[in-house]
Structure 1
Amino acid sequence: MSEGRRELTGPVEVIGTGLLGTSVALACRRAGIEVLLTDVSADHVRTASALGAGRPRADGDRPQLVVVAVPPDHLGASIAAALDAGDAVVTDVGSVKTGPLAAVHDHPRVRRYVGGHPMAGSERSGPLAATADLFEGRPWAIAAHPDADPDAVGLVEELVGLCAGVVVRLSPEDHDRAVARTSHVPHLLASLAAGRLADAPADHLRLSGQGVRDVTRVAAGSPQLYGQIVAANAAAVLGLLGEVRGELDALIGAIAAADGDALAAVLQQGVAGTLAIPGKHGGPVRPTASVFVSVPDEPGVLARLFLAAGEAEVNIEDVRIDHDLGRQVGLVELIVDESRADHLLASLESRGWLTHR
């Protein structure tokens, strides 16, 4: 790649036709790029092919770009094999970047490797869960090592653009610290919280509301896959868990001593953390307010509610649904710009909806 930057024209080989790999393949096919599919599971390749994600790679195929989308335990070996196989640029979609880089650091073609990580996914897995728009508007970390060929970096960034992702440039080390803070440790804490529910008495669980669902949602992911991810990022995760352990000890002490000021300080730090999370489309956090609407659990009711909000010319920033355990009724929380909440409340009530703030 010494004669100037090349454009991504394909073929693109996707190694690993699970959720992420097949979604990358579908996005490439949507852009008209030929896709070659490789997987140890012939069934996955057949399924991904039937979905229109590409065709099985054949002898003689020469991809321009290889996307490695295999489980964390196999990333290093798969990246090395892809570098061995030809002159393609190689990237991956793994959740950890320092480990795979260490595995190929001494490879003679390591300049053609550029680590990547799209921050997108689902509790579902496999090719049938894939979609071409999985990455639209989502951050996609490009964690290029210092010796990476600039043209290889450019080619991988073109892939991100083709998938409608948003490039975020980080070093491999910074990437791993960042995902430990924003993904891996939160997942572990959600698992600990959810674990307190596994053997809870049924009468206790009947008090479950939207709050506990919000806190525990990600704990439903694959233990095997997430175990591999956390183990691969052990150093960064352990550092943060040590901080959490110290803060937990302080919290226990504050509660035991009935120290209201210390307890409030811990809770206020939590508020500060929620405000630090970027707002919609990555912009600054804007003040919002919630309008709660009681709705019957029946087909079409949510469509009518959203239509009513649209007729009131109020944009819904987010929505949550809490189900009444004793009745066929749900409580829908519409999160809107703070300045529009009272208007939405009045407009919905005028249309016969049962609401409150």
Structure 2
Amino acid sequence: MRTALVVGTGLIGTSAALALTGRGVRVHLSDLDPERVRTAAALGAGTAGEPDVSVDLAIVAVPPAHVAPVTADVQRRGLARACIDVASVKGGPRRELLEAGGDLVGYLGTHPMSGREQNGPLAATADLFEGRPWVLTPTTETDTEVLNLALELIALCGAVPVVMDADAHDRAVALVSHTPQLLSSMIAARLEAADETAVRLCGQGIRDVTRIAASDPAMWVEILAANPGPVADILADVAGDLDEAVRALRALGSADEEKRGGGVAGIESVLRRGNAGRARVPGKHGQAPAAYRTVAVLISDRPGELARIFADAGAAGVNIEDVRIEHATGQQAGHVQLMVEPGAASALEAALRDRGWSLRQQ
């Protein structure tokens, strides 16, 4: 691949353009908003404006509802030899492209499973896709050259190709992406009218659950409108679980011993099923999640403190597998949670204490 056209200079389009230009591909940038194009170009993502001659690959990075008309236009005008899209829904746009008279031979639906809460070109980074799955949904009609160019794009972006059926992909993202977004927003919405004293008690748990609730509502309305059926099906199942949990909680307050016992069993069932589901989420390097030990260290909010604690862990010969920071409300301090292999936890704790760090018992 020597040349490419990116149509849509939001987070995904600009990030792909940055990755390609960084690896020597000449990228042209197009968007209905000229200011976004100018911003992406200023960031080094490519050249503003459509190409004069056909490029190797066009990357359509627009909302799902616009994929079909934009792709059909690119094909009709001969702007690229091959065309892919990177929208988060795949079945509907492909059917709409066929209805619009588009060429399915020269088109391939793809979806990089990567993103951020922020949107727009200023949120883009060249390493956004590093190590992330990038779904390809080829059909028997897909031209080999198109598939090869898509695979080359994925390799240049440092992502991992995953081949799926388009409708199976849409059901999968409804479960692992679209429904979690709605549930996160629903939990966060409870905080809007909450008493200030309750909000001040927010800890790392509520921060984890509501992190993606900061996402752009307009963008998510477009995504959910393109995949409503599968998301509604999963939400209906969740609603059933919620009804059962409510009944179980009511039973916990009953004076009847038998009812209370049923409530305990109901809540325990939900929690255990949650344990089982969480255990299936891939961990480091895509492997099964490891049972890491957590070493919690009190850390002040001063420049260089994180670097110092990582250096001390390295000097102790301990590899940090994961890290989280729990900020203390109203204080210039917090706890950094270092996840390590169980066998290394005691050595790390001893080494950090020797270097003057204050540890919290887990």
Which band: TM-score by shorter chain? over 0.9
Identity of aligned residues (%): 44
Matches of 1:177 and 1:338, distance apart in 2: 36
1:83–1:110 CA contact under 8 A, matched in 2: no
The answer to whether structure 1 residue 78 and structure 2 residue 82 are counterparts is no
Q: Which residue of 2 aligns with 1:91?
A: 84
Question: Given that residues 15 and 67 in structure 1 are in contact (C-alpha distance below 8 angstroms), is that contact kept between their aligned partners in structure 2?
Answer: yes
Q: Secondary structure at the match of 2:55?
A: coil
**Equivalences for residues 1-357 of structure 1 within 5 A:** 9-58=1-50, 60-86=52-78, 88-106=81-99, 107=101, 109-258=103-252, 259-356=263-360, 357=362
The answer to whether the 8 A contact 1:254-1:263 is kept is yes
How far the C-alpha of 1:301 sits from its partner, in A, is 1.0
Shift of 1:289: 1.1
Q: Contact conserved, 2:5 with 2:50, CA < 8 A, in 1?
A: no
Q: CA deviation at 1:216?
A: 0.4
Q: Please list every run of 5 or more consecutive structure 2 residues that lacks an aligned counterpart in the other structure.
A: 253-262
| 1:334–1:136 Cα change, 3 Å | same
- Give the Cα–Cα distance (whole angstroms) in 2 for the partners of residues 58 and 257 of structure 1: 65
Secondary structure of residue in 2 paired with 1:285: coil
Runs of 4 or more above 6 Å deviation: none
Q: CA deviation at 1:59?
A: 5.7
How far apart, in 1, do the equivalents of 2:326 and 2:287 lie?
28
Distance in 2 of aligned mates of 1:287 and 1:102: 44
Shifted more, 32-41 versus 150-159: the winner is 150-159
SS of the residue 2:321 aligns to: strand
Q: 1:176 to 1:58 in 2, by over 3 A?
A: closer
Q: Which residue of 2 aligns with 1:6?
A: none
Q: Deviations over 1:298-338 (max 9, x none)?
A: 11111111111111121112111112114321111111112
Shifted more, 174-183 versus 76-85: the winner is 76-85
Query: Would the aligned equivalents of 1:13 and 1:57 in 2 still touch at CA under 8 Å?
Result: no
Q: Matches of 2:151 and 2:230 in 1, distance apart? A: 26
Contact 2:72 2:102 survives alignment (8 Å): no
TM-score, scaled to structure 1: 0.95
The 8 Å contact of residues 2 and 24 in structure 2, kept in 1 or not, is answered as no
SS in 2 for 1:292: strand
Q: How many residues align?
A: 349
Tell me if structure 1 keeps the 8 A contact 2:65–2:93: no
Provide the secondary structure at the position in 2 that maps to 1:13.
Answer: strand
Cα distance, 1:77 vs. partner? Answer: 1.2
More displaced, 315-324 or 229-238? Answer: 315-324
Q: How many Å separate the matches in 2 of 1:352 and 1:108?
A: 66
Q: Is the CA contact 1:29–1:54 (under 8 Å) kept in the aligned structure 2?
A: yes
Return closer, same or farther for 1:59/1:274 CA change in 2, 3 Å cut-off.
closer
Q: Is the 8 A contact 2:279 2:288 kept in 1?
A: no
The match for 2:259 is none
Shift of 1:10: 2.7
- Work out whether residues 76 and 99 of structure 1, in 8 Å CA contact, stay in contact via their aligned partners in 2: no
The CA deviation at 1:108 is 5.1
Structure 1 residues 67, 108: CA separation in 2 closer, same or farther (over 3 Å shift)? closer
SS in 1 for 2:116: coil
Distance in 1 (alpha carbons) for counterparts of 2:40 and 2:114: 19
Q: 2:356, 2:180 → 1: CA distance?
A: 40
SS at the partner of 1:189? Answer: helix
Q: TM-score, normalised by structure 2?
A: 0.93
Say whether the 8 Å CA contact 1:114–1:153 is kept in structure 2: yes
Instruction: Structure 1: give runs of 5+ residues left out of the alignment.
Output: 1-8
